[in-house]
Amino acid sequence: MKPLKTGIFGGTLDPIHNGHLRSAEEVREAFGLAEVWFIPSARPPHKDAPCISPFSHRLKMADIAIRENPAFRVVDLEARRSGPSYSIDTLRELHEIHGEDRCFFFIMGADAFLEIEKWKEYRKLIDFCSIIIMSRDNALKDDAAGVVSRVWPHIRLDEQATADNFALGSVLFHRVTRLEISATSIRKKIKEGKSIRYLVPEKVREYMETNRLYMDQESDLANVSTHQPQSTIKEPDAGSERAVEIARAIHDNKGEDIIILDIRGMSAFADFFVIAHGRSTRHVEGMTSKIRRGLRDKKIKCKGIEGETEAKWVLMDYDDCIVHLFYEPVRKFYDLEGLWADAPRIAWQESPSLPDQ
Ligand code: ATP
């Protein structure tokens, strides 16, 4: 079977707007893409975290925006990794998971492309995808061609490519009706109390209004809650034994607000998330090594670990169970439990075998 041509539209998407949607649709049509996946950047490497909206809001708005287009999908892949969200890691992961049945097209505006040399492992991007650079006019085309010849001397910017005539690993240029909309201008208008109707899908506008997004930074953060369980509570079962064991180990090491999310059937990556936080990055760091040691003594082996050095968001891989250990403010900001609000929680605290809980 021929691999499905799949567009990847990344970005901060804070918020997603009609400029993104229209240009993605034009690219989809021009290159005969079966689907376009919108992948909001969980932690954009070039942006200051406190200045961007929580991932859960950005994801939700993207989800609402694309609902009426059957060829559009929203993918929350970047929320599952710790550390900055580098496109090369996302593309590598997508290639590993879907490399057999999909070929990827990384869609980006010419403005973004001209900055590509600042990206992590930028030369390797085309090992996993073709790049489609979109621009309203030809003004930036020469600059883009200059970048291509500098970065990949063996290829040329292809301006004539059509749906069927290009080689994989190409860099293609495509003219789109670029609507003069930017997320920055939308945020500014909201702050100034101006209308943003027709710049974003109406349902997205309603979502922003309901959640009072962009009115000021404090109100955005005030909308992030880690302490109000919205999900249903489930008793532990045989499958969740290991997650409970891990939660106990975190508790023994003074981890706070420990929850187990049952994501069986909701994610291809794992069955459970155990989420907790420490009061300082030092606490998180110390807790990480003690938990790992303690569990190893019980023959529960950690398969991989990320984010240990910074200790703001440590991710520990225990096969079917992924542990997210946060530094408290970072947990609040990324709001994983809000993102997975549909996942039931395992009531491990109430287990009779845990009298000290
Ligand atoms: P901000 O104003 O916060 O920088 P933005 O509107 O440029 O945001 P991003 O999320 O940074 O949006 O961009 C995601 C991708 O969308 C980038 O590749 C960017 O070049 C492209 N893009 C941004 N605005 C438009 C637009 N009006 N039309 C087409 N593409 C756009």
Would residue 204 count as lying in a domain? no
**Nearest residue (CA) to ligand 1, atom 8:** 183
Per residue in 264-291, pLDDT (tens digit) is 877 667 889 999 999 999 999 999 999 9
Secondary structure letter of residue 46 according to DSSP: T
Per residue in 110-147, pLDDT (tens digit) is 999 999 999 999 999 999 999 999 998 777 899 999 99
Instruction: Note whether 278 and 287 are within 8 A (CB).
Output: yes
Per residue in 168-178, pLDDT (tens digit) is 799 999 999 97
For residue 84, the model assigns a pLDDT of 75
282 and 143 both lie in a single domain:
no
17 and 96 both lie in a single domain:
yes
- 28: closest CA among 88, 69, 78? 69
182 and 240 both lie in a single domain:
no
Domain end position, chosen among 124, 156, 186:
186
Residue 300 sits in a domain whose CATH number is 3.30.460.10
> What is the domain range of residue 322?
233-346
Using only the alpha carbons of the chain, give its radius of gyration. Answer: 22
For residue 27, the model assigns a pLDDT of 96
272 and 178 both lie in a single domain:
no
What is the rounded average pLDDT of the residues 191-210? Answer: 96
Q: Look at the chain and report how many structural domains it folds into.
A: 2
For residue 258, the model assigns a pLDDT of 93
Domain end position, chosen among 156, 186, 216:
186
Domain end position, chosen among 157, 186, 215:
186
Read off the tokens for 86.
């580098």
15 and 70 both lie in a single domain:
yes
**Nearest residue (CA) to ligand 1, atom 15:** 11
- The verdict on the CB of residue 77 being under 6 Å from ligand 1 is no
- Confidence check: pLDDT of 243 > 90: yes
**Nearest residue (CA) to ligand 1, atom 26:** 19
Residue 167 sits in a domain whose CATH number is 3.40.50.620
Per residue in 43-82, pLDDT (tens digit) is 777 665 557 888 888 999 999 999 999 999 999 888 766 6
133 and 61 both lie in a single domain:
yes
- The verdict on the CB of residue 14 being under 6 Å from ligand 1 is yes
**Nearest residue (CA) to ligand 1, atom 24:** 182
Would residue 21 count as lying in a domain? yes
Residue 222: how many other CB atoms lie within 10 Å = 10
- Give me ligand 1 centre to Cα 20, in Å: 6
163 and 302 both lie in a single domain:
no
Q: Which residues pair with 296 in a beta bridge?
A: none
Pick the atom of ligand 1 nearest to 41's CA.
10
- The verdict on the CB of residue 109 being under 6 Å from ligand 1 is yes
- The verdict on the CB of residue 53 being under 6 Å from ligand 1 is no
130 and 270 both lie in a single domain:
no
CA gap 35, 9 in Å, rounded: 11
